[in-house]
Chain A
Amino acid sequence: MRRLMAVLRARNLEFVRDRSSLGWNIMLPILLVLGLAFIFSGTQRPMFKVAVLTEGDLADELHPFLNTQYVDFFPVADEDRYRVRLGRHQVDMLLDLRQAVPRYWINTQSAKGYFLDKLIRTDPVPGLQGGTVTGAEIRYVDWLVPGVLGMNMTFSALFGVGYVIVRYRKSGYLKRLHATPLTALEFLLAQVFSRLMLIMIISSGVFTATNAILDFPMEGRYLDLFLIAALGAVSMIALGLTIASRVESEELAGGLLNLVSWPMMLVSGVWFSLDGAHPWIQTAAQIFPLTHVLEGARAIMLDGLTLSDLSYNVGALVLMSVVFLALGAGLFKWAPD
C-alpha cells in the first residue's frame, strides 16, 4: 500500500504541475458545458428549415402551413440561390407564396423534404383518433448530457492513461521502477486511482455546472449516479491500461486507442438511442463499458432506478474492470525489447 500511495502521489504531482495538460483537462469540459448550454438552452429547436419566397413580410396569414410548429420559416427573395441551397440540403423546403397559387420544392433525396412534403399535403384521415400523453418532459439535452460526459470520460481514461504508460516505457522510466520491489499491479492500480480521481472531480464539476444552466431531471439518487460513473471510469481506465500494456510507441498506442474508442463512441448510445438498431449492433455494444455507464446513468437520472435495479450493468462493469486489470497486469511489459 505504501508503494502504491507513493506512485499515486508522484503521478498526481506530475499531472498537477503539468500546466498545459492540466489546463486542457479543465478547459475541455468548460467548453463542453458552454457548448451544450448554448445549443440546448432556450426554446425547443425547430426540426425543419423552410425558405419562403414572398413579396413582403412573412405573416402567418399568408398560408396556413406557416402555423406549423417546430418549423423555422424565414423569408428569402432569390429563388435561384435557394434552389441551389435546397439541392445541397442546406434548407429543407423552398416555398413560393408570391403567386396566388403557392408552389414548393423539396429535395427528393432528403428525408426532411419527404416529411415536409407529407405535412403540407396532409388531409384528415376519416375515423382516425388521436391521443396525448402527459408526464415529465425529457428534452434531448437531458438524454444527451450523460452521453457527452461519458465520451469525455472515455477519452480521458483511454488516452490519458494509455499514452502516459507508453511514454514511461519508451523513456525507460518503467525499467527503472522495475528495478525496485514495485509490482506491476501496484503500479497499474496507482495509475487507475490517479486518473479516477481526476475524472470524477472534472466530471462532477461539469455535471454540476451544466445542471445549473440546463436543470436536468434527476429521478434517482446522485450517489448512485456517482458510483456508476466511477465504476465506468475504472473499467475504461483498466481498458486503456490493457491496450498500453505492451505497446512501445505512441503512434501505435494512438492507433489502438482510436480503434477502440471510436466504435465505442458510435455504438454505445452517446448521440442517439440504439432502439431499432440492428440486433447485432445492440449485442456488440454490450462489450463496451461506455454502453453500461450510459444505460445506467440515464436510467438513474431519467427513470429513477437504483444501483440494485441495474445489477446487469453494474455486474458487467465490475467484470470488465477485473478482467481488464488482470489482463493489463499479466501482459504488462516494463521495458521495450
Chain B
Amino acid sequence: MTSRQPVLTVDNVSKRFRSLEAVRGISFSVNEGDCFGLLGPNGAGKTTTVEMLEGISIPSSGRVRYRDGPLDGRYREAAGIQFQSTALQDYLTVREHLRLFASLYKHSLPIEELVELCALGEFADRDARKLSGGQRQRLLLAISLVNDPDVLFLDEPTTGLDPQARRNFWSLIRGIKGRGKSIVLTTHYMEEAYLLCDEIAIMDHGRIIAEGTPDALLAQHFRDVVLELPKDDFPNTGAPHRWTMLETERTVEILTDDVNGAVRWLLEAGASLARLQVRPRNLEDLFLELTGRELRP
C-alpha cells in the first residue's frame, strides 16, 4: 500500500489566523487510491488543513504538492470537493445542478452516469431545496464527482444523517474507492473512519498526534480488551487494582488483557454475566485516549 505514489504531499505546513496558530507544522502524504481519514476533536485544525489541501486556503508556511506539482489550475480540474456545509443555487433541479457544475470543468462525467452512481434517479428533476438530508448529501457527492476527480475531499459528509442514510452513503463511497479514486475524509464518526479509511491521522491542537492504518494504530496503542457490564450487574466489592476501570452513567468497563481472569473474578464476586459484552478496543477508544475525555470549549 505504501509503495503507491503519493497524490498529495503535505510538507511542514502551518496556518496562522492573526494570533491563532490553527495548524502547526504538519506533514503527511495521501497515497494513490487510498482513503485518508483526518480525525480530531472540534477546533483541532482539520477543516483548516483540508482547505489547504483543497487549494482554497494558502498555508502560512510549508507547502502542499499535488503529484509533485503546485496546486494550480490543473489541480482545480483534478480535485473534487464536498464541503461540510454547502449552499446550492436556489430553484435549480438536481439534474440542472449537475449540468451547471459539469460545465465548469474541461472534462466531466456524463450526467446520467452520475445520477446512477449516486442513486439520484428518483429525484433527479426535483428542486434541490426539497431534498431530504441524505438525498442532499448524495447530490453534493455527485457534484464533487462531476469532473471525474483524481482526488476527492469529503468533509464530514455524513454529519446529521440518520443511520440508514449514513450506511447508504458509506456504500457509495466504497463504490467510488473501487474506481481507484484517492479520498481525503474528515469525520467525527470513528466507525466510519474505521470502515472506510486505509490510513488515518488524528489531529489535536493543530498537530498530528497519531498516524497509520487503523489496525496498526489500535495494535500500537492497545493490548487490552473491554469488558462492559451494566452498573446494576457489577459487584459491589470493587475490582482488583491491576485492571483499569471506566464508569459511565449506565455501565462499568474493565480494560484488561486477561479476559479469563476478569471473567473468573466477576463469577466469584457473584456478578450476572448475562449482559456482559467483550469487545476489542476501537478507534473511538483510541481517539478518546489520545485527545482526552473532557468537554472542549
What residues of chain A have their CB less than 8 Å away from a CB belonging to chain B? 2-3, 5-7, 9-11, 13-14, 17-18, 168, 171-173, 175-182, 335
Contact = CB atoms under 8 A, between A and B. Distances in A.
B56 A179 contact: yes
Contact of A13 (B54, B55, B96): B96
Interface string B38-73: 000000000000000011100000000000000001
Contacts of A13: 91-92, 96
Given A176-B86, A179-B55, A179-B56, 17 more contacts: A5-B103, A6-B103, A7-B100, A10-B89, A10-B92, A11-B89, A17-B91, A168-B87, A171-B87, A172-B83, A172-B86, A172-B87, A173-B88, A175-B83, A176-B88, A180-B105, A180-B147
A3 B85 contact: no
Contacts of B103: 2-3, 5-6
A176 B81 CA distance: 8
B194 interface: no
Contacts of A178: 56
Q: Do most interface residues of chain B lie in helix, strand or loop, or is the interface mixed? A: loop
27 contacts: A2-B103, A3-B103, A3-B104, A5-B103, A6-B103, A6-B104, A10-B92, A10-B96, A13-B96, A14-B89, A14-B90, A14-B91, A171-B87, A173-B88, A173-B89, A176-B87, A176-B143, A178-B56, A179-B54, A179-B55, A179-B76, A179-B81, A180-B104, A180-B105, A181-B73, A181-B77, A181-B104
Most buried by B among A10, A17, A171, A182: A10
A10 B147 CA distance: 18
Contacts, number: 68
Nearest to A181: B76
B79 interface: yes
Given A6-B104, A180-B104, A172 B85 contact: yes
A52 B129 CA distance: 65
Classify chain B: how many residues form its interface, as a range.
20 to 34
Interface of B: 54-56, 73, 76-77, 79, 81, 83, 85-92, 96, 99-101, 103-106, 143, 147
Contacts of B89: 10-11, 14, 173
A113 to B, nearest CB: 56
Given A3-B103, A3-B104, A181-B77, A18 B90 contact: yes
